């Protein structure tokens, strides 16, 4: 029986948060997650589903959609699809009681690229505060070496880079808890929430 063919269900879905909404408090409050995950991320998913319905993008995976929309110059589809992907990657880049316990294989690469974990965090903070307006700060593996990339709006690192983790520096990520104080927010994220195990799992 095929009873659903005339009413296609939403193709892209909001993945569950990998922790409870209050698990990142006080750096990221439950109220921020209710808005950031429950409203912003959900809206990117809903908008993407509306934009792709009845187009050649319908049925494509999220990654295929991002690549094709970028190539085709379909800005709205790219922006919403990339924001869906970026936010899911961001939630996984954070962990309750994170910030420490860097797996040895990753620590070795961090030392090789930056000199120390503190220097890596200082570089992430500098990129976060240096990014004018909305965007993302990424730790990536590029040709076998770690480096930091910052991107504007929904943009992602070049396809040649393997993202290891990301920090959201859009105002909606911190305004409820830190108002305009982006540097204070990002410093707290780096010290208390970064999921280095997730980053290590992403190493090529």
- 170 lies in the binding site for Mn ion (CB under 5 A): yes
Distance CA 113, CA 55 (A): 44
Q: Are 169 and 134 in contact (CB under 8 A)?
A: yes
- 174 lies in the binding site for Mn ion (CB under 5 A): no
| Residue (107 or 175) nearer to Mn ion, CB | 175
- 114 lies in the binding site for Mn ion (CB under 5 A): no
DSSP SS3 for 162? strand
Span from 20-28, 70-78, 94-102, 164-172 in contact with Mn ion (CB under 5 A): 164-172
Q: Are 36 and 185 in contact (CB under 8 A)?
A: no
Least gap, CB of 43 to Mn ion (angstroms): 11
- 150 lies in the binding site for Mn ion (CB under 5 A): no
Distance CA 44, CA 50 (A): 10
Least gap, CB of 2 to Mn ion (angstroms): 38
Span from 67-75, 138-146, 162-170, 193-201 in contact with Mn ion (CB under 5 A): 162-170
Contacts of 149 (CB under 8 A, 6+ apart): 127, 137, 138, 140, 142, 157, 158, 161
- Site size with Mn ion, rule: CB under 5 A: 2
| Residue (154 or 200) nearer to Mn ion, CB | 154
Q: How many CB atoms lie within 10 A of CB 160?
A: 8
| Residue (150 or 168) nearer to Mn ion, CB | 168
Tell me which residues touch Mn ion (CB under 5 A): 168, 170
């Amino acid at each position: 029986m095929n009873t659903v063919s005339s009413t296609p269900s939403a193709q892209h879905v909001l993945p569950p948060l990998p922790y409870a909404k209050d698990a990142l408090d006080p750096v990221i409050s439950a109220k921020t997650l209710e808005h950031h995950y429950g409203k912003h991320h959900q809206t990117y998913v809903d908008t993407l589903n509306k934009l792709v319905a009845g187009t050649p993008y319908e049925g494509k995976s999220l990654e295929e959609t991002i690549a094709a929309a970028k190539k085709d110059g379909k800005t709205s589809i790219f922006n919403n699809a990339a924001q869906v992907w970026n936010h899911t990657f961001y939630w996984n880049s954070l962990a309750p009681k994170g910030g420490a316990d860097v797996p040895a294989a990753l620590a070795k690469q961090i030392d090789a690229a930056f000199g120390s974990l503190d220097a890596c965090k200082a570089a992430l903070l500098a990129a976060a505060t240096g990014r004018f307006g909305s965007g993302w700060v990424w730790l990536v593996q590029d040709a076998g070496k770690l480096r930091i990339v910052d991107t504007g709006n929904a943009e992602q690192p070049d396809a040649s880079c393997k993202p290891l983790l990301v920090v959201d520096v859009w105002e909606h990520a911190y305004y409820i808890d830190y108002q305009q104080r982006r540097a204070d927010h990002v410093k707290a994220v780096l010290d208390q929430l970064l999921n280095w195990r997730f980053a290590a799992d992403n190493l090529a």
